[in-house]
Amino acid sequence: MQRTEAEWRERLNARQYNVAREQGTEPPFQNEYWDNKADGIYFCVGCDTPLFDSETKFKSGTGWPSFYAPAAAEGVGEHVDLSHGMRRMEVVCNACGGHLGHVFEDGPPPTGLRYCINGVILGFEKKGS
């Protein structure tokens, strides 16, 4: 999905744009979904692609929504991120390329992964809505 920077700025608010297009990070505990317990699907606010199911969400204590697996493997991509003097795996939306967060190998079973996602880049739709 290709958009001009002007189209991205029109679609996203300033915080969303910073995270999605400039690889920013929101402050912990300052997003709408870090403690959401509702049953539903989390999607990319940049393009509406379904990314994570609430069934894989867990309480990580980090202040960001955390999941042990994406809703569908083709929905998210991973890239090596060497910024800030660290080696991490960046998680992006495969449909629009928006930065979502990072994935770490300290999550719960069955995957052992923790997809640590910026809540500001997510939308949420309750199941059955």
- Distance between CA 100 and CA 117 in Å, rounded? 5
Strand order in the sheet with 99-104: 57-58, 66-67, 114-117, 99-104, 88-93, 76-81
Catalytic pick from 44, 93, 96, 116? 116
How many Å apart are CA 126 and CA 106, to the nearest integer? 28
Q: How far apart are CA 78 and CA 12, in angstroms?
A: 22
**Is residue 116 among the annotated active site residues?**
yes
d(CA 34, CA 117): 9
**Backbone phi and psi for residue 56, each to the nearest 5 degrees, phi listed first:** -105, 5
Any idea which residues carry the catalytic annotation? 116
